[in-house]
């Protein structure tokens, strides 16, 4: 199988799904406060996706994942499972990752939230990680290579004395959750396949304050930093246009 190019009609459906996923992240923000459980955040997202949007939470049941969203707190790199036992406290940082299916098409996006006031080092990690995503988005256009994308992310992270997680990557997306190509968040300029108009994929850098290594807990999902230092992640779904990129999961607070 090779990389699929989407038609304008298919892109229109992904625009709808992407907007829905973004809207879930906008909706949930006010509930990310000290004392809330990640289970409650999951329940609110589930109810919004199913009852308000009439859409499908893609994570629920995906390869056995038991919840509708991923909630990754502090040293959790990705795929944190919402739980009654996980109560958010002041100073935590949390990534909420939402994927919605609407009319058979996927939108996948995540952002970081602060629980109360963050420590300066945590705020800085979250900001630099968002900049990694934005710097990658800035160079997306026909002809840019996957190595170019990985390189800008790796440069910005490492220039700031952080490390890029190598064990997880972005991905093509469409009427399938994860499809070709893999989008690595590190790489060398000018290497790898070139982007083409109509390609749809995510960029979702995971950046660690300490070393890059990760391990998966016994629940089979939760990926944590080996050194248990903080990790941050931001994700958008996008389509390559004639001369640039359209972010399908843009939030109203963002201007692309
Ligand atoms: N949304 C994640 C991604 O960005 C995938 C989560 S899979 C799950 O690709 F099963 F953990 F939900
Ligand atoms: Co993704
Ligand atoms: Co995601």
* Prediction pTM value: 0.99
CA–CA distance, 107 with 235 (Å, rounded to integer):
11
Residue having the nearest C-alpha atom to atom 11 of ligand 1:
79
Residue having the nearest C-alpha atom to atom 2 of ligand 1:
97
User: Which protein residues have their CB within 5 A of the ion that is ligand 2?
Assistant: 108, 202
Q: Which two tokens stand for residue 204?
A: 């979702």
Say whether the peptide bond before residue 81 is cis (omega within 30 degrees of 0): no
CA–CA distance, 129 with 123 (Å, rounded to integer):
10
Query: Is there a contact between 143 and 195 (Cβ–Cβ < 8 Å)?
Result: yes
Cβ atoms < 10 Å from Cβ of 36? 17
Q: Which ligand 1 atom is at minimum distance from the Cα of 168?
A: 9
Is 235 assigned a ligand-binding role in the annotation?
A: yes
CA–CA distance, 185 with 245 (Å, rounded to integer):
18
Residue 215, classed as helix, strand or coil, is: strand
CA–CA distance, 38 with 82 (Å, rounded to integer):
5
Is 246 assigned a ligand-binding role in the annotation?
A: no
Using CA atoms, how far residue 75 sits from 46, 55, 214, in Å, is 25, 31, 10
Residue 43, classed as helix, strand or coil, is: helix
CA 168–ligand 1 middle distance (angstroms): 10
Query: Is there a contact between 163 and 206 (Cβ–Cβ < 8 Å)?
Result: no
| CA 182 from centre of chain | 14
Using CA atoms, how far residue 3 sits from 30, 69, 193, 199, in Å, is 38, 27, 10, 7
**Is 31 a pocket residue for ligand 1 (Cβ < 6 Å)?**
no
| pLDDT per residue of the chain (256 residues) written in tens, 0 to 9 | 689 999 999 999 999 999 999 999 999 999 999 999 999 999 999 999 999 999 999 999 999 999 999 999 999 999 999 999 999 999 999 999 999 999 999 999 999 999 999 999 999 999 999 999 999 999 999 999 999 999 999 999 999 999 999 999 999 999 999 999 999 999 999 999 999 999 999 999 999 999 999 999 999 999 999 999 999 999 999 999 999 999 999 999 999 9
CA–CA distance, 39 with 125 (Å, rounded to integer):
25
pLDDT at 1: 64
Q: Which residues pair with 78 in a beta bridge?
A: 223
Q: Which two tokens stand for residue 36?
A: 């809330």
CA–CA distance, 116 with 196 (Å, rounded to integer):
42
CA–CA distance, 220 with 134 (Å, rounded to integer):
31
């Amino acid at each position: 199988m090779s990389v699929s190019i989407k038609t304008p009609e298919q892109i229109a459906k992904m625009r709808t799904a992407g907007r829905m996923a973004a809207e879930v992240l906008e909706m949930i923000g006010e509930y990310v406060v000290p004392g809330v459980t990640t289970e409650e955040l999951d329940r609110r997202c589930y109810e919004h996706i199913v009852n308000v949007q009439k859409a499908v939470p893609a994570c629920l049941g995906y390869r056995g994942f038991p919840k509708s969203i991923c909630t990754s707190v502090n040293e959790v790199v990705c795929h944190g499972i919402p739980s009654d036992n996980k109560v958010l406290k002041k100073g935590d940082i949390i990534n909420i990752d939402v994927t919605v299916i609407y009319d058979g098409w996927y939108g996948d996006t995540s952002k970081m939230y602060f629980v109360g006031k963050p420590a300066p080092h945590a705020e800085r990690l979250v900001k630099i990680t968002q900049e990694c995503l934005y710097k990658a988005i800035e160079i997306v256009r026909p002809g840019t290579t996957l190595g170019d994308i990985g390189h800008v992310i790796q440069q910005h992270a490492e220039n700031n004395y952080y490390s890029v997680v190598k064990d997880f990557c972005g991905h093509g997306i469409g009427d399938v959750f994860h499809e070709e190509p893999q989008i690595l968040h590190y790489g060398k300029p000018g290497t790898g396949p070139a982007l083409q108009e109509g390609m749809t994929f995510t960029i979702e850098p995971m950046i660690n304050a300490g070393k890059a290594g990760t391990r998966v807990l016994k629940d089979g999902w939760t990926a944590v930093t080996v050194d248990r230092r903080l990790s941050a992640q931001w994700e958008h779904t996008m389509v390559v246009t004639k001369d640039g990129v359209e972010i399908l999961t843009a939030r109203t607070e963002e201007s692309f």
